[in-house]
A and B are shown apart, each in its own frame.
Chain A
Amino acid sequence: MQRWLVASTVTLSAIVLLPLAVVASSVLSIDVDLWEHLFSTVFSDYVSNSLLLALGVGLGTIVIGSSLAYLMVNFDFVGKSILSWLILLPLAMPAYIIAYTYTGLLDFAGPVQILLRETFGWSRGDYWFWDIRSLSGAIIMMVLVLYPYVYILARTAFAEQSYSYQKVSELAGYTRWQHALKVSLPLARPAIITGATLAMMEALADYGTVAYFGISTFTTGIFRTWFGMGNIQGAAQLSTVLCMFVLVLLVLEKHSRRDASKFQSREHAGAQRQRLKGPVAMGVFLLCLLPAVFGFIIPFLQLLSWSVQYASVGDLSDFLGLVKNSFLLAFAGALIIVALALLVSYAKRITGKRSLKYSEQMLSLGYAVPGIVIAVGVLIVTGWADKAFNRFTLEWFDYRPGLILSGTIATLIFAYAIRFASVALQNTETGFARLPQKLDYAALSLHGGLFRMFRKIHLPLLSASVISALLLVFVDILKELPATLVLRPFNFNTLAVRAYELASDERLLDAALPAISIVIVGLLPVIFLTRQLNKSSV
């Protein structure tokens, strides 16, 4: 049974990793001329901008995500139940959409600056205004939509902190804030870092926002090298360098939580909540509302007003098809990917095999690789498989079925698995880590078998992690663009594809309706799953 578990996990991981390996194999033949050119011109920009972007997004999401989580877990105040799902809404907002929306508002040619100029009679150069299309702007846009990654994980971590720690702090004379900073926060650190790592990886892989803002990062460099110079090999090499960065990030992350499980237990979980009243409660409510206001409500209303003004009814019939495609694709993808993640994490837990630890870490890499690069890896691999299969059938049955993988939904989900396995894995990993090992010993002593133990014991205890994994992968697929664009079957469109095509043609007003639909489709599971999360995690 164990051997079977290991074998199937390693095989599955290897299949998922194959496209990344194809990309990485590009380093075997270095194009010296290209690299000389890159080093002498733009490479240092790529490195510094990418690092600053990731760093900024990491810090921003940590500050916002963990303070929100702390407030939500430790205090009771009016309006908290609304907040519990408002806070998650920015998850449904693609970063490039929020970037387009805020640019429309805050740019030099936007209504805010025009109003300022008209009111005060200024013209260009008379005043200073923050340039949203800058590195700081990109960081803020991404923090606004990515902080929920930290929030979700930190919230569970805070909620599961033993009540006895709080008692001990009280005995030691710590105030509530001292307890928060000196005890709670360090205990939740591994979860917070994990969330921030996800956010940073997403930031590194982003193309839409940085391209629109004109910032040179690794991702824009990959696109330039491939599309501009027609050098796909060079683009793959740049992606591999990016992967190296991420590998370092992942090792640091693993290192930071090396002895994390020691102090976490579900016994006496749940700190005692303090009830807030009056202006303090109001203040905390408003503070917690801010990220949702900027990350969701303002852009949502802007998109809504655009779609109401400019959407024509003729679009709507065609529209339901887009909604259906997007929803089914994201749902099926999320189920498959979370199942894969559970398998890997479970196999690792049961056997403790080193090979599984590595395969898990490698599986996480895909999250930081731009979707388009993954798409190319997938194309090459499915192309081989299709050709081999056709050679086989031709030889044995004198029949050529044509493409059976390329251009199918299955291939698309395959690409999503590479890209988003990390999101699911981080959740299942931290989930499993919180379950004490003695649970397994007790269960196994009853001779229930590995599968039965998983189904009867682990899965119910993991429900919070599984739900948040499903939720995150779902919205990620919903928003995913470059891989969907290239790999999809004929005549198959999704909301993200439609929104992007219009937005990239700078038809922002027309793009508003599909964009807002992505958000709405993403909302349904967010609301449903937060309810589950509220039930199961507290």
Chain B
Amino acid sequence: MIACASISVIETYYHLRCSLIFKSAEVVIKKFIVAAMLASVFIPAVSAEEVNVYSGRQEALIKPLLDKFTSQTGIKVNLVTGSGDALISRMQAEGELSPADLIIMADAGRLVRANQLGLLQDINSDEILRHIPASLRADDNHWIALTKRARPIMYVKGKTDPYSISSIADLTDARFAKQICIRSSGNIYNQSMIASLIILDGEQQTLEWAKGIVNNLARSPKGGDRDQINAMVAGECSIAIANTYYLGGMLTSDDPATRAVAQQVGVIWPDQDANGTHINISGAGITKYAPHKAQAQALLSFMLEQESQQWYAEVNHEYPIIEGVKWSDELASFGQFDAQKVDLETMGALNDEALRLMDKAGWR
């Protein structure tokens, strides 16, 4: 559609020129062909049945699945990836002209934000919604979760006794002074984690906890989740907080050194007797002005199919949201756990507050 649009502009332009300076029709046609060819260099051709996706998840993490959808249904998937908030801004600016049909986001906060801005619509399909527990979708059914990701405590096997830690509250103990690795507060995983704690424990207690963590940091926060795991195994700290799929990815890496690092790491599921371990989701919603709603629904159903969910679990090491899907060996090796029962919508809405709380705690 964009290709057509831009060609039509060029076309109009040449028509205008034609009528203005009476160039011969042949020259105009030639120029138009050149312009169209130039346009085609930049803008790939678009097939009849298609669905347009704005994705806050990276291409490598979803493209294989989208390709499979295309080969199964013949519906072409056009994809733009980018940071979730920037894509939300793009949709806002494009308004009702936006070509986006589906947004895929890496966390609940972005979906809640898009929904609050009125950019989404009711998914409106029992076939899709019946698969999904109410806790893993919006109250108004404007977005749904596609996968779950958990954020447990990690330790080096043989160095730390996993039974000495039963709750994330333990991490603020003096015995863990200069022993904790966790990434910056600018990261959404930490923001979601703090937002959930605000819901469960209240703001004051969460602030105390955040201050305690900052006190016990082994180094000022830097790098990503894998980085924390690497630093821990190298001996810079004894405890790391990281998402499980990073550890899963490291365990199945092509690089033997990375695998060797990951194999030394064990997972502790904290707060199993209380609130449960923090989880977040990746999810999707259909846009308010979706030009291809039916195709967007088809893509959503496809992503919830047993096979797709299995792909997520095995290749990306994320937890499926459909019952009965087999986990990857790596996920299985981390064990079963009870997750926090937190309303994802409230959690997403508390993102701002969570970040301010971390600012106050001096969490960089």
Contacts and interface: CB of A to CB of B under 8 A. Distances in A.
Interface of A: 37, 41-42, 103, 107-109, 113-114, 117, 123-124, 131, 133, 211-214, 216, 220, 223-224, 226-232, 309-310, 325, 328, 372, 375-376, 379-380, 382-383, 386-387, 390, 401-404, 406-410, 482, 485-493, 497-498, 501-502, 504-507, 509-510
A482 B82 CA distance: 8
B86 A386 contact: no
A485 B83 contact: yes
A502 B98 contact: no
A401 B4 CA distance: 9
Interface of B: 1-2, 5-6, 8-9, 41-44, 52, 58-61, 78-87, 89-90, 92-95, 97-99, 113, 184-186, 188, 191, 219-227, 230-231, 233-236, 246, 249, 253-255, 258, 351-352, 355-356, 359-360, 364
A109 B222 CA distance: 13
Contacts of B220: 214
Nearest to B234: A109
B233 to A, nearest CB: 7
A486 B94 CA distance: 13
A504 B254 CA distance: 18
Most B C-beta atoms less than 10 A away, residue of A485, A491, A498: A491
A101 B26 CA distance: 55
A489 B43 contact: yes
Contact of B188 (A211, A220, A227, A501): A227
B85 A226 contact: yes
What are the 10 tightest A-B residue pairs by CB atom distance, in nearest-first order?
A383-B93, A214-B222, A109-B234, A490-B78, A379-B93, A228-B355, A506-B226, A486-B86, A41-B359, A109-B230
Given A37-B356, A124-B235, A383-B94, A502 B8 contact: no
A214 B228 CA distance: 13
Contact of A509 (B223, B254, B352): B254
B59 to A, nearest CB: 6
B97 A402 contact: yes
17 contacts: A37-B356, A103-B223, A109-B234, A109-B236, A124-B235, A212-B223, A223-B186, A227-B83, A227-B84, A228-B352, A230-B85, A232-B85, A380-B93, A408-B43, A501-B60, A502-B60, A509-B258
Nearest to B59: A501
A131 B220 CA distance: 11
Contacts of B93: 379-380, 382-383, 406
Most A C-beta atoms less than 10 A away, residue of B9, B82, B113, B225: B82
B80 A211 contact: no
Given A109-B230, A386-B94, A387-B97, A42 B246 contact: no
A230 to B, nearest CB: 5
Contact of B99 (A131, A372, A402): A402
B359 A37 contact: yes
B222 A213 contact: yes
Nearest to B358: A228
A407 B188 CA distance: 27
Given A133-B223, A229-B352, A231-B352, A224 B186 contact: yes
Contacts of A232: 85, 89
Contacts of A227: 83-85, 186, 188
Given A37-B356, A382-B93, A489-B43, A230 B236 contact: no
Contacts of A390: 97
A457 B52 CA distance: 51
A309 B254 CA distance: 9
Most B C-beta atoms less than 10 A away, residue of A41, A103, A490: A490
A482 B94 contact: no
A240 B41 CA distance: 37
Given A220-B186, A506-B246, A482 B222 contact: no
B89 to A, nearest CB: 5
B254 A310 contact: yes
Contacts of B81: 485, 497, 501
A490 B2 contact: yes
A108 B89 contact: no
B236 A482 contact: no
A504 B6 CA distance: 33
Given A108-B236, A402-B1, A310 B255 contact: yes
Contacts of B351: 228-230
Contacts of A492: 42-44, 80
Most A C-beta atoms less than 10 A away, residue of B41, B90, B185, B236: B90
A505 to B, nearest CB: 6
Given A41-B359, A228-B352, A490-B2, A212 B222 contact: yes
Given A214-B223, A382-B93, A490-B80, A505 B60 contact: yes
Given A213-B222, A379-B92, A489-B43, 6 more contacts: A37-B356, A42-B359, A402-B97, A402-B99, A408-B43, A490-B79
B83 A486 contact: yes
Contact of A109 (B8, B185, B191, B231): B231
Most B C-beta atoms less than 10 A away, residue of A212, A230, A504: A230
Given A212-B222, A214-B220, A310-B254, A403 B94 contact: yes
Contacts of B184: 211, 214
Nearest to A329: B42
A58 B87 CA distance: 34
A279 B156 CA distance: 53
Contacts of B78: 490-491
B48 to A, nearest CB: 15
A117 B355 CA distance: 37
Contacts of B355: 224, 228-229
